Amino acid sequence: MGSTASSGDRRGLTTDDYVAGGATQTAVKILVVGHFAVGKTTFIGSISEIEPLSTEETMTQAAEAVDDLKGVRGKTTTTVALDFGRLTLSERVVLYLFGTPGQTRFVQMWEDMARGALGALILVDPERLADSFPVIDLIEQYGLDYAIAVNHFDGNPERAERALREALDLLDETPVVTCDARNEQSSAAALTTLVRYLLDRAS
Ligand SMILES: Nc1nc2c(ncn2[C@@H]2O[C@H](COP(=O)(O)OP(=O)(O)OP(=O)(O)O)[C@@H](O)[C@H]2O)c(=O)[nH]1
Ligand SMILES: [Mg+2]
């Protein structure tokens, strides 16, 4: 779990650039989404300054038939409702992170989750790119701006960003960052990139 945020702009953002005059703190809702087993729970767990709410359940044999465990070593649980965490990005910007289950059978939850969100960080496993298509489609359908965080799993070869952009059919302006969801700094850097992008677009 991430450490408690200290005051000041420890993520390198300057507060006054991003918060309307007079406001002391702005709460920003961000979705952390991605296909099954891409690292959503790990990501929120690595960065949340509060004990993350997690709804992990042991995977059943029934789930094994539908959830593709190929390439996912030693995974025994899956998120059945949502992950929730909080990150104070700067003195005045607080992110509320909602991790949505990756399996398409949970898609009805997305409607509620997407409401009021400023944008989404889409976690992508470069070895399972096709699994990200429906996730990206959904986020676009809800009209949310997003950045891509390529979660680098051990032993996977590096992928050229250009090839990945083409494979995912991304707009040139869509930010793509690599991250290790287990690492607080790395996860924070991905979120900072997303928030900068969202705020630039909003201004
Ligand atoms: N090497 C490596 N392993 C990771 C990384 N992120 C997650 N993992 C591992 O990948 C597995 C799946 O991670 P989860 O965080 O459960 O993935 P999830 O997207 O929440 O999965 P669901 O909720 O079931 O869809 C776990 O065993 C993690 O320890 C990463 O950045 N690098
Ligand atoms: Mg999960």
| 100 within ligand 1 shell (Cβ under 6 A) | no
CA 89 to ligand 1 center in whole angstroms: 23
Domain contains 19: no
- What is the three-class DSSP state of 100? coil
Q: What is the pLDDT of residues 27-67, one digit of tens each?
A: 999 999 999 889 999 999 999 998 888 777 787 655 555 56
Place of tokens 């949310």: 144
| 42 within ligand 1 shell (Cβ under 6 A) | yes
Q: What is the pLDDT of residues 81-103, one digit of tens each?
A: 788 999 998 888 899 999 987 66
Domain contains 18: no
Number of domains forming the structure of the chain: 1
Assess whether pLDDT exceeds 80 at residue 146: yes
Spatial distance between the Cα atoms of 126 and 7, rounded to a whole number of angstroms = 36
Q: Which two tokens stand for residue 38?
A: 């891409």
Give the Cα-Cα-Cα angle 40, 58, 83 (nearest 5 degrees). 30
Best mutation site among 31, 42, 80, 123 for ligand 1 pocket (most ligand atoms within 8 Å of CB): 42
Q: Which two tokens stand for residue 163?
A: 């090839």
Best mutation site among 33, 41, 67 for ligand 1 pocket (most ligand atoms within 8 Å of CB): 41
| 44 within ligand 1 shell (Cβ under 6 A) | no
Domain contains 2: no
* pLDDT for position 3: 42
- Ligand number nearest CA of 155 is 1
User: What CATH number does the domain containing 122 carry?
Assistant: 3.40.50.300
Residues forming beta bridges with residue 84, ordered by sequence position:
53, 98
* pLDDT for position 29: 95
- Ligand number nearest CA of 36 is 1
Are 95 and 195 spatial neighbours (Cβ–Cβ below 8 Å)? yes
Domain contains 5: no
Domain contains 42: yes
Assess whether pLDDT exceeds 70 at residue 147: yes
- Ligand number nearest CA of 45 is 1
| pTM score | 0.84
* pLDDT for position 2: 42
pLDDT band at 7 (very low <50, low <70, confident <90, very high): very low
Domain contains 14: no
Residue span of the structural domain in which 177 resides = 25-202
Domain contains 38: yes
Domain contains 41: yes
Q: For residue 133, how far is the Cα from the chain centroid?
A: 15
CA 23 to ligand 2 center in whole angstroms: 34
